Structure 1
Amino acid sequence: MKKAITASVLLASALTSGMALAEYPTKPITMVIPYNAGGGTDVLARALQPALEKSLGQTIIVNNIPGGGGILGFTKVATAKADGYTVTIPNNVIFATEGMGNATYKSTGFDYLGNVLTEDYVVAVRADGPWQTWDELVEDMKANPGKIKFGFSGYGGSTHVASAILARNIGYEVKQIPHDGSSKAVVAAMGGHIDALMLNLGDLASGLESGKLRPLLSLGEKRMEEYPDVPTLKEEGGELLLTNWRGVAAPAGVSDEVKEAWGEALKAATSDPAFVKAIAAQGATIDYVAPGEELDQRMQGLAKEFIETAQELKQ
C-alpha cells in the first residue's frame, strides 16, 4: 500500500512538473535591447512585440539598457536566470566584442532561440557633403589619410569590426569614431559631426528617410531593393561580402520547452502581415531559422569569423 501511495505521489509530481513546463510562459517576458530607442534593434523588437505577445500569450516588456556598445545589456541577459523570461536580440556584435576582449560574456553563454533577419552593412554620408559616389569618397580617404571622420556604433562592436575590415580591404585610413548606439551615430552624421558612417540598413533608416543621409555602398551580395542605384562592393571591384543578422537569444541553459515555444512564436511572428510590412520598410530581409542544429552551426561559423578578425584588429 505504501509503495502504491509513493508511486501515485511520484506520478502526480511528474505530471505537475510537465504541466508547468508546458504552460511556459506564465508571466511577462523581458526583452533587453542593449541600445537606445530608435535604432534598428529597438525598431525590430517593437515590430515583433505584438505578434510575439499573441503567440506566447504574455506581455513582452521591451527594456532598453544602452552602454558599452551593447555590452551592458548583453551582460544582463547572459547572467540572468535561464528560465526563458529574459531574452535579447543579438547580432554580430556579441562575437566582435568577445574577440576584442571587451565583453564580460562569451557567445557560448547564450542559447539562440531563432534567427529573424539578415541585413547588409551600408556606408552612408551626409547628403550635403561633397561625395556623390563611393569612388569619390574612397579617393578622398586615400588622398587624405586620417582626415575623414568615419563613424559606427560602439567601440569593438560589429560595425567597428566591419568598418576596419572594409578599410583594410580597400586600403584607406580614416578617423574612426565610435558612438554609443546606432541612433547616436545617425544623429552625429546628420548633424555634420562625422562625415561618413557604417551601419546596417535598418539602423540608417531614420537618416535616409529624412533625406539628410545618402547611401553610397552596400556590402551585401546584391543591390538593395529600396536603393537600386546604390552599388555593392563587389560591383565596385571589391571581394568583401559582409552581412549582419538579428535573432532572439536567452541565457544558456533554457529548457527544450522554452526553445520550442520561442521557435513557434518567431515562426508565426515572421509571417505576420504587420511585421512583414514593418520590416520591408526597414530594408531588411526576413530570414527565419528555427532553434536547433542549423542555427547553432550558423552561429558557430559567424563567431569564428568575427572573433578571429576582432582579435587581429586589437593586436
Structure 2
Amino acid sequence: MLTRLLRAAAIAASLFVAPAVAMADYPEKPIRYLLHVSPGGATDVMARKLAIAMEKTLGVPLVVENKPGGRGATQLADLASAKPDGYTIGAVTSTHIGAFNQTLKQYNVDSFDWIARLVNEPYLIVVNKDSKIKSFKDLVDAANAKPGSVVMAGFVRGSGGHFAWEIMAQSAGLDSKKVRWVPFDSVGDAVTAALGGHAEAAIAYVDLVKTYVDAGSLRVIGIMSEERARQFPDVPTLKEQGFDADTSWQQMRGIIGPKGIPEPIKAKLAAAVEQALKTPELVAYMEESSLIPSFQPPAEFTATAARENALTKEWMERLGLTR
C-alpha cells in the first residue's frame, strides 16, 4: 500500500513539475510568426527585421509566414487554433481591432493574448508623380470640385488607415465619400497602385514610400503628426497646412498569440521583443522609417488594446460600419 501511495504521489508531483520544466526550457524549437499581409508591406518588413533580432536572444528561428486574406481572417484562424505554448505568435495592428468590430466578429480583443506592443507610426498621404495635387488642400479642393474624381488607395475599410483618412477629411470639413476609397490586401499593395497610376493617392507610412519619393515617383502631400518627418523635412504636417487632424491616431504594431499562453512564456517573448527593439539595426530602421518606439509588456499592451477597441467602436458607429 505504501509503495502504491508513493508511486501515486510521484506521478502527481510530476504533473506539476513537467510544465514548469517545459516553460524553463522554452523555446526548444522554431517559433511561427504569422502575418496578415502580403510580403513587402510595412508590417512585413519590420516583422522580418524583428524576427532576426529576436532569434539572437531566443536561440531558435522565428519563421515568418505571410497569410493575407479576409482582412486577417486567414491569419487569425491559424493563430486561434494553435496551441497556446508560445510556438505560434502573430502580428497585430490597429486594423485587427477594426476587423474585430466589423468583419471578424467571431473574435474580439479578449480572444488572444496581447504579448508586446512594438511601435506606433504616423499616417501620411502620397500622390502619383503625375498628379496635379501638390498639397492636402489641393486634394480637398479636387474632391469638392468633382466628387469621385480622386481615388484613394489603402487597406480595407475599417482599418487604421481608413480611420486616419476619415480623421483627415473631418479636419478639412470634407465629406469623405467624395473621395473614392479603394481597399487592398496590404498598405504595400496600395502604394503599388498609386505608383502604377491605378489610384491618384494612397494612405501609407514613411518606410513604405521613402524610396519612391526619393526617386520622384511619388509625392507626399501631408503627414498626420505633430512634427515633420525627418525623412521629408520639406513636407509640412497637416496642422501646418491648417488642418487640425487628431495626431494621436496612429498605426500600432504589436505581437499577439493564442489565448492561454503561460505567463512565464509571454514574459520571455516580451523580453526578447524589448531587447530586439534596442539593437542598432532596429533602432536605425525605426529612425529611418519615422516609427515611434512604444514597447509595452503583456499587461500594459492588453490595457492599451482595450482602450483602442473602445475608440474603434466609436468610429465604427459614427461611420455606420457596424451594421
TM norm structure 1:
0.92
1:84 aligned residue? 86
Question: Greater CA deviation, 236-245 or 257-266?
Answer: 236-245
2:70 aligned residue? 68
Quick one: distance in 2 between partners of 1:169 and 1:79?
Answer: 42
Quick one: distance in 2 between partners of 1:283 and 1:194?
Answer: 24
**Structure 1 position 185 matched with structure 2 position 187:** no
1:1-315 pair list within 5 angstroms:
1-2=2-3, 3-170=5-172, 171-172=174-175, 173-235=178-240, 236-241=242-247, 242-292=249-299, 294-313=300-319, 314=321
Counterpart AA for 2:148 = G
Quick one: distance in 1 between partners of 2:17 and 2:133?
Answer: 67
Question: Greater CA deviation, 38-47 or 219-228?
Answer: 219-228
Quick one: distance in 2 between partners of 1:312 and 1:99?
Answer: 13
Quick one: distance in 2 between partners of 1:163 and 1:303?
Answer: 18
String of CA shifts for 1:45-104, please: whole Å, max 9, x gaps. Answer: 111111111111111110011112333223322332222111111110011112233454
Contact residue 99 and residue 311 of structure 1 kept, 8 A: no
Contact residue 116 and residue 255 of structure 2 kept, 8 A: yes
Quick one: distance in 1 between partners of 2:134 and 2:121?
Answer: 23
Quick one: distance in 2 between partners of 1:253 and 1:16?
Answer: 17
Quick one: distance in 1 between partners of 2:70 and 2:171?
Answer: 27
Secondary structure of 1:297's match? helix
Name stretches of at least 5 consecutive residues in structure 1 with no aligned partner.
Answer: none
Counterpart AA for 1:93 = T
Contact residue 55 and residue 265 of structure 1 kept, 8 A: yes
String of CA shifts for 1:255-305, please: whole Å, max 9, x gaps. Answer: 10221111110111000111212232222122211221x222211111111
Contact residue 70 and residue 154 of structure 1 kept, 8 A: no
Secondary structure of 2:32's match? strand
Q: Percent identity?
A: 28
- The CA RMSD measured in Å over matched residues stands at 2.0
Quick one: distance in 2 between partners of 1:123 and 1:78?
Answer: 34
Quick one: distance in 1 between partners of 2:304 and 2:278?
Answer: 22
Quick one: distance in 2 between partners of 1:124 and 1:310?
Answer: 25
Contact residue 37 and residue 185 of structure 2 kept, 8 A: yes
Quick one: distance in 2 between partners of 1:298 and 1:307?
Answer: 14
TM norm structure 2:
0.90
Contact residue 71 and residue 104 of structure 1 kept, 8 A: no
Quick one: distance in 2 between partners of 1:281 and 1:256?
Answer: 34
Off by >6 Å, runs of 4+ in structure 1: none
Residue 138 and residue 62 in structure 1: after superposition, are their counterparts in 2 closer, same or farther (change >3 A)?
A: same
User: How far off its partner does 1:4 sit?
Assistant: 4.4
Residue 149 and residue 240 in structure 1: after superposition, are their counterparts in 2 closer, same or farther (change >3 A)?
A: same
Residue 13 and residue 73 in structure 1: after superposition, are their counterparts in 2 closer, same or farther (change >3 A)?
A: closer
Question: Greater CA deviation, 136-145 or 86-95?
Answer: 136-145
Question: Greater CA deviation, 110-119 or 125-134?
Answer: 125-134
Contact residue 24 and residue 257 of structure 1 kept, 8 A: no
Name stretches of at least 5 consecutive residues in structure 2 with no aligned partner.
Answer: none
